[in-house]
Structures are given as structure tokens and as C-alpha cells.
Amino acid sequence: VKRVDMTGRVFGRLTALEPVGRRGTNVTWRCRCECGTEVVAAGNDMRAGLKQSCGCLRRELAKRTEHGHMVGKKPSPTYSSWRAMLKRCYSPRNRSYADYGGRGIIVCERWRSFEPFLSDMGDRPEGTSLDRIDVNGNYEPGNCRWLAVGQQQWNRRCSVLSPQLAQEIVGRHEHGESMASIGRRLGINRFTVNTVVRGLAWSSVTGVVSRRKPTRTRDAEMKRKHMEIAR
Ligand SMILES: [Zn+2]
């Protein structure tokens, strides 16, 4: 049996201290790990790079893979958003697929892994959702933001729609996004979206020409629902 003196040699985080026994034909070594733990490991495993720590290295790597954003079965808000983004673009069974993957919206290669996405976007602030600035653009750095859709902002937007928002609604609608989706993404109730899309409001800004006058009843109904929701 060939004996290799490994005393004092370093393998990853392990430093070989002294031979302590045998495992089959291999010599086992008492080692000290960088973290301070002592373990017994087979010399050939250490030389082959199969054993590099007391186990702390693997634990740390596993933690890094999970980013601490996927604890047990409950994902963090950021992780949920990342996963939902991929599903909208690549899972035809997703209810929003038609507005995303179905329209050719993709997730850039970098963001198909969670870590780069997290490092570019940061943690998702409470009450926000992932939004694309250019609705025809892809999910990629520079075209995404965490957009507040909190109840407060939602209500504010119901009562006061800015010219910019009116234009954004019409732009999104012209590019095929459904009214329900526009409402969800911008935090505007769908009656308001409908009103703008049909040119019944903000037409001087959006240039949308109303094709048909709404009936008095329909208009009143819309207004009533609008008030209900805004309240
Ligand atoms: Zn260790």
C-alpha cells in the first residue's frame, strides 16, 4: 500500500492534520475545516477534490442556489414574480400567456436564471409588481421596473387619470394587450380602461375617435361601477 504523507496539506477548506485509520485500502485523515470543525475524511477523496470541507461548503452553496428566496415551499415575493414572468412568456397554459409569450414577448437569456434577475432588479418592494416600460419590449434590464399597484395608487389613478396614463392605456391596447391585463398592470380599474380605449374619455390626448355614442344607460352603469370601485 502506497502511503502519501498529507500532513499539513490543504484541500479546499480542509487541512490534513494526521492519519487516523483506514477505510478499505485508503488512509483516513483527521482534518480541520476553515470553519473550525474537525472531521475524518479519506485521503483519496480529498486528493480527488471530492471532499473539500466538513460539509459547510455544500450547505453554503445550497443556500446560495436557493438565494434564501425559496424557503421550503414558500417563495419570496421576488422569486414569485420571477417565476410568474417565465410562466407568462413560456407556459401556454398560463392565463396571461396570450398577452406575453403569445405576442412574442421573451425573457432575456440573463434573466432565465434567478440570481442575475435579482441582482438587476433588487428585491420586489411591497405592493408592486413587475412591469415593462415598453409594452412591446422584452423582460430585460432597462425595460423593467417594480410598479406600485397598491390600493392607494389604484384609487388615485381611478379618480385622476393623467394624460400619460391615458396614452399608455391606448398604446397597450393597440398592441393587442387585453383590457383586463392593462387594468391589472397599470392598477387602473377596467371600466376606466374601457372608457379610454373607446375614446369616451381623454380622446383629445389619445386621438381615439369614438365610433359609437354610448347609450345613456350604459354610460350611467359604467359611472356607477366606477364610483363604487373608486370608493
Ligand atoms: Zn466547515
Please report the pLDDT score of residue 120 as a whole number.
Answer: 94
CA–centroid distance, 76 to ligand 1, in Å, is 28
| CA dist., res. 94 & res. 16, Å (int) | 54
CA–centroid distance, 73 to ligand 1, in Å, is 27
CA–centroid distance, 18 to ligand 1, in Å, is 17
CA–centroid distance, 9 to ligand 1, in Å, is 16
Question: pLDDT, tens digit, for every residue of 39-76?
Answer: 999 998 888 878 889 988 777 766 655 667 775 567 88
Please report the pLDDT score of residue 95 as a whole number.
Answer: 83
Question: pLDDT, tens digit, for every residue of 70-126?
Answer: 755 678 889 889 989 998 988 888 888 888 888 888 999 889 888 889 999 999 988
**Which is more confident, 205 or 170?**
170
CA–centroid distance, 16 to ligand 1, in Å, is 13
CA–centroid distance, 32 to ligand 1, in Å, is 8
For 152-213, give the secondary structure using H, E and C: HHHHHHHHCCCHHHHHHHHHHHHCCCCHHHHHHHHCCCHHHHHHHHCCCCCHHHHCCCCCCC
Q: Please tell me the pTM assigned to this model.
A: 0.43
